[in-house]
Structure 1
Amino acid sequence: MTFEHYIALFIAMFVVAIIPGPAVFAITSASLASGYKRGIFMTAGLLLADYVFILLAISGLAVVAEVLGGAFVIIKYLCAAYLIWMGISLLLSKPGASATGTATHSTQSAVLSGFLLTLSNPKAIVFYVALFPTFVAIESMTYTDILGIMACATLAFGSVNLGYVYLGGQARKLISTPRRLTMLNRCAGSVLAASGVTVAVR
């Protein structure tokens, strides 16, 4: 791959990343409710799933998706159920107790939730099946090219998602009273639950 190919691929990934979807709403809401840490862990999970998609795309994602179609459906519903569960937990939580409880929970599950979000994201599947091959000569891939593609994904998807994490964390800093924290939890919980429903019905 040439430098121009990497630039074109980076721009395409960046444009796809900034389009709001369930993943964006989830990481922003998680950062609002729990601070930067959970959002950063979720972003790491999102990137891991992108690496998996890149490897699958190079080895023939369309064939793999057809063979494992049932598995993708299961992952989609697991992710949807998890988002809805997180949303309901925030809606029912008390502001004083949710901060520590959610922070502890984030170290155990945020990466997994981010990973499942990308795996079940139709936007990601369409990009890697339909658009990705137009930027990459898959038949002549080298290990260096694969590492370069993963670097593009890290810079494009990582920077955009961390930007959303930063905005969510900054907004959280402005909210300090129990009443505002309760409102924040309800808003974040509603967004997460709605994201879960969106994932399920797509």
Structure 2
Amino acid sequence: MTFEHYLALFIAMFLVAVIPGPAVFAITSASIARGLKQGVNMTVGLLLADYLFILLAISGLAVVAEVLGSAFVIIKYLCAAYLIWMGISLLRAKPGTSITEPKMQSTQSAVLSGFLLTLSNPKAIVFYVALFPTFVAIENMTYPDILGIMACATLAFGSVNLAYVYLGSQARKLLTTPRRLTLLNRCAGSVLAASGVTVAVR
């Protein structure tokens, strides 16, 4: 792949990343409710799923998606249930307090939730099935090309998602009074639950 190919792919990935979707709402709400670390861990999971999509796209994602169609449906509903559970947890948090991070919200759980979120994201599936092949000559792929594509994904998707995470964590710092924290939990919980419902019905 030439520099022009990488640049075109990066721009396409960046534009796809900027468009808000369930993943953006989920990581932003998680960062607002639980801090920067939670959002960063979820972003790592998002990127790992993007790497998997890249490998599948190169090896024939359409065929894999057809064979594993039911598995993708299961993943979608698992992700939706997880987001709804997170939202309800925030909505049920004690008034005036910020929900503390329970055992299920460990680093591994946050990474896994981000991973499942991308796997169940229709926007990601459409991009890698329909748009990705127009930027990449899949039949002529070399290992350096694959690493270069993953680097593009890291820079494009990672930078945008981390920007949303940072904005969410900064908003959290402004909400220091009990009343504001209660409002924060309710807003973040509602967004997370709504994102879960969106993932389930799409």
TM tier, smaller: over 0.9
Aligned to 2:68: 68
Aligned to 2:198: 198
**Structure 2 counterparts to residues 4-19 of structure 1, below 5 A:** 4-19=4-19
% identical aligned pairs: 85
Separation of aligned partners in 2, 1:60 and 1:102? 39
Separation of aligned partners in 2, 1:102 and 1:127? 34
SS at the partner of 1:96? coil
Q: Is the 8 A contact 1:96 1:178 kept in 2?
A: yes
Q: Gaps spanning 5+ residues in structure 1: where? A: none
Aligned to 2:124: 124
Q: Could you list the per-position Cα deviations for residues 42-71 of structure 1 after superposition, in whole angstroms to 9, with x for gaps in the alignment?
A: 000000000000000000000000000000
Aligned residue identity for 1:13 = M
Q: Deviation at 1:107? A: 2.1
Task: Normalising by structure 1, report the TM-score.
Answer: 0.97
**Structure 2 counterparts to residues 62-141 of structure 1, below 5 A:** 62-94=62-94, 95-96=96-97, 98-99=99-100, 101-102=101-102, 105-141=105-141
SS at the partner of 1:73? helix
Aligned residue identity for 1:176 = T
Q: Could you list the per-position Cα deviations for residues 18-40 of structure 1 after superposition, in whole angstroms to 9, with x for gaps in the alignment?
A: 00000000000000001100000
Aligned to 2:29: 29
Separation of aligned partners in 1, 2:83 and 2:97? 22
Q: Gaps spanning 5+ residues in structure 2: where? A: none
Q: How many residues align?
A: 201
Q: Deviation at 1:104? A: 7.3
RMSD of equivalent CA atoms:
1.2
Separation of aligned partners in 1, 2:102 and 2:172? 14
Separation of aligned partners in 2, 1:173 and 1:11? 32
Task: Normalising by structure 2, report the TM-score.
Answer: 0.97
Q: Deviation at 1:17? A: 0.1
- Aligned in 2, Cα 1:90/1:107: closer, same or farther, shift over 3 Å? same
